[in-house]
Amino acid sequence: MKIAVSILNCAYNEKEIIEKINASDADFLHVDVNDGKFLPVPKTHYEFLHTSTKPLNVHLMVTNPFEYISYFTSLKVDEIIFQVELDEDINALINYIKSKGVKCGLALKPQTEVSTIKSYLPLLDAVLILSVNPGKSGQAMIESTLIKIDELRSLRNENNYKYEIIIDGGVNDITIDKVQGADIVVSGSFICKNGDIQAQLDKLRL
């Protein structure tokens, strides 16, 4: 299982946390992008990301993803993920991201069913399951969302799809056992608010 570290809520400034993640064995730096429309409290600058030596896993929680794609594909981006609940042409967004040479994924809010994205699954490199309501770090995992892991694994196996399954929300040393069917976990406050970044990562890898 791979681990992506989210810096939405951490005990350090941006420069310090990037340096600490660079020095760790984290697999990705997870970046939540919010325009203040899809969710409240916008974050408007990401210039510090160029100092990351980890591949960037970017989650666009915005109402118009097209406005952000060119900027983030100019960085060291491994993957761009956006919300399926948008009133946008999902196929056009997927194709546009892939045309930039970047992997593409869709994210599901806790209340959004896997059936919503079945037609897109052949095109995807990742599906991100939000196991908390988006917008606030440090929430408890909504365990009823974890059934989506099994649903997505079954669909992948039955159809030979290639997407990775990502869990984002409430991942810590207690809940990690509940999400072993995922390929990637995103963990934020558990890793970034507890001192030793590597020690916290080690707890998730046991």
Q: Which residues are catalytic?
A: 32, 168
User: How is residue 39 written in tokens?
Assistant: 């969710």
Residue ranges of the alpha helices (H) in 141-193?
147-159, 189-192
Residue ranges of the alpha helices (H) in 13-85?
14-22, 66-73
Q: Contact, 82 vs 35, CB < 8 A?
A: no
3-state secondary structure of 93: helix
Largest CA distance in the chain: 45
User: What phi, psi does 64 have (nearest 5°)?
Assistant: -135, 80
- DSSP 8-state assignment for residue 184: E
